[in-house]
């Protein structure tokens, strides 16, 4: 009886661990696709109309465009609050805020990819690795948010 219980616990742990490994890979693919799609669509849009022209057009005042922008930015803000909790350095928090507000899902996808590739997809304990992606507090690495913020400011100044 005891060995049957132990065997079922081991089976459950193995399946849960396999699911965590699958989820790490799935999230890596998802956020890679988001990053690629956003780079493509923003490049395509920029080739058709500059951001400055769009900001001065009648389209920006369309109620559905305004509602969509509110929806997107509240989503960005919600994700940023979680990012700010994870980042312990004030400078990193500020840089990520600027990057998320200026780049939106480009910055969010980059953040998730950094986190997802910081853990192994096949460690001894995959469940812990997946949990680390979402709950591990960070000391405030500045390279990625600095680069994204500088790129975003550059693009907006050129637009």
What's the pLDDT score for residue 122?
A: 61
What's the pLDDT score for residue 6?
A: 64
pLDDT in tens, 106-135: 999 999 999 999 887 665 666 777 788 888
Whether 81 and 90 have beta carbons less than 8 Å apart is answered as: no
Whether 87 and 93 have beta carbons less than 8 Å apart is answered as: yes
What's the pLDDT score for residue 7?
A: 67
Q: What is the pTM of this model?
A: 0.83
């Amino acid at each position: 009886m005891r060995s049957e219980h132990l065997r079922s616990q081991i089976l459950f742990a193995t399946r849960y661990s396999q699911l965590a490994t699958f989820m790490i890979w799935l999230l890596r693919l998802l956020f890679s696709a988001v990053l690629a799609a956003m780079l493509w669509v923003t490049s395509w849009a920029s080739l058709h109309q500059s951001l400055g022209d769009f900001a001065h057009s009648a389209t920006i005042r369309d109620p559905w465009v305004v509602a969509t922008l509110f929806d997107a930015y509240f989503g960005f803000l919600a994700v940023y609050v979680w990012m700010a909790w994870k980042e312990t350095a004030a400078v990193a928090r500020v840089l990520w805020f600027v990057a998320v507000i200026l780049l939106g899902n480009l910055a969010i996808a980059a953040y998730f990819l950094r986190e997802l590739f910081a853990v192994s997809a096949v460690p001894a304990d995959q469940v812990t690795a997946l949990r680390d992606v979402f709950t591990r507090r960070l000391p405030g690495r500045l390279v990625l948010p600095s680069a994204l913020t500088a790129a975003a400011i550059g693009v907006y100044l050129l637009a």
